[in-house]
Amino acid sequence: MNATSEQTGPAPDDLEATADQAIEACGGDPREAVKALLIALDFLEAEANDLRAAVSKGYSRGRHGPQRERKE
């Protein structure tokens, strides 16, 4: 697999289906789906920051960038 195909992301149809699933999981309320996804994103960003902090700079050869600022 080449680098271009790895960076393109999911197909638009997949995004539509995933959005529909998120809305359905939140009782059909798109606003609740957005809130749930924002909470999940915040959790994943915090987890990624914790993992970056746990990896030594020598092990990663300095490839991981600085921690992203989280919006409160």
Give yes or no for a contact between 33 and 22, defined as CB atoms under 8 angstroms apart.
yes
- Per-state percent for the chain, helix, strand, coil, to nearest 5: 65, 0, 35
Contacts by 64-70, CB closer than 8 A, 24 or more apart: 70/42, 70/45, 70/46
pLDDT confidence of residue 51: 87
pLDDT score of 7: 58
Domain extent listing, the chain? 30-72
List per-residue pLDDT tens for the chain, 72 residues long. Answer: 455 545 577 788 899 999 999 999 999 999 999 999 999 999 999 999 888 888 876 766 666 666 566 666
Question: How distant, in Å, are the alpha carbons of 13, 44, 56, 70 from that of 63?
Answer: 34, 20, 11, 20
Query: What pLDDT, on a 0 to 100 scale, did the predictor assign at position 1?
Result: 45
